[in-house]
Amino acid sequence: MRRIKTAVFISGRGSNMEALIAAAKDPAYPAEIALVFSNDPEAFGLKTAAAAGVEALAIDHRPFGKNRAAHEALIDAALRERGIELVALAGYMRILTPFLTGAWAGRMLNIHPSLLPKYPGLHTHARALEAGDAQAGCTVHWVTEVLDDGPTLGQARVPILPGDDEDALAARVLVEEHKLYPAVLATVAATFSSPA
């Protein structure tokens, strides 16, 4: 079986990245985590990735100011140089331009901590609690140029319990994220049979 070379994008500690790296340690897993990328050279997850033997790359967005296209051109070139075939956004907090989402259309997925289409963007747990929802959860979806709007690839649900606050709910959802993302990435990678 040919394993699909996958890059994981992070902006912080990278707990979903850790779950993907752990899943990919199984030789039968259809994706190889070949690169962890961050826009923040200080992102803690870069150290975690390097310690796991995965190439860790940072291209700081700050020197580019408002020129997102120039920053993304370097990211795109780095992915192509390494033969990356799939991109998994995992807590990557930059909004991507149509350049990068278009270049990787059908090959870039994201995990979001709500049951999309509910609560795209930030503060998802607070919004679910404020709305009085009975359930919360997470969604893996294809990335498009519209934020958190691509077709759904998988969801996991958790009940919202009496007395839940944002932290308690977020922690319960995160447990499900760490199961859902590796499962969905495996399904997607298994459908890829040739390099990009």
Residues classed as catalytic: 112
Give, in order, the Cα–Cα distances in Å from 157 to each of 94, 172, 180: 26, 10, 10
**164: helix, strand or coil:** coil
Calculate Rg over the CA atoms of the chain: 16
Give the alpha-carbon dihedral of 85, 40, 20, 181, to 10 degrees.
-90
CB-based burial label for 43 (10 Å; 0-12, 13-18, 19+):
buried
Which residues does residue 7 pair with via DSSP β-bridges, in sequence order? 35, 87
Structure tokens belonging to residue 129: 């609690």
Residue 111: DSSP 8-state: E
Residue with tokens 């009975």: 134
Find how far residue 16's CA is from the centre of its chain.
7
Query: Rounded distance, CA 146 to CA 192, Å?
Result: 24
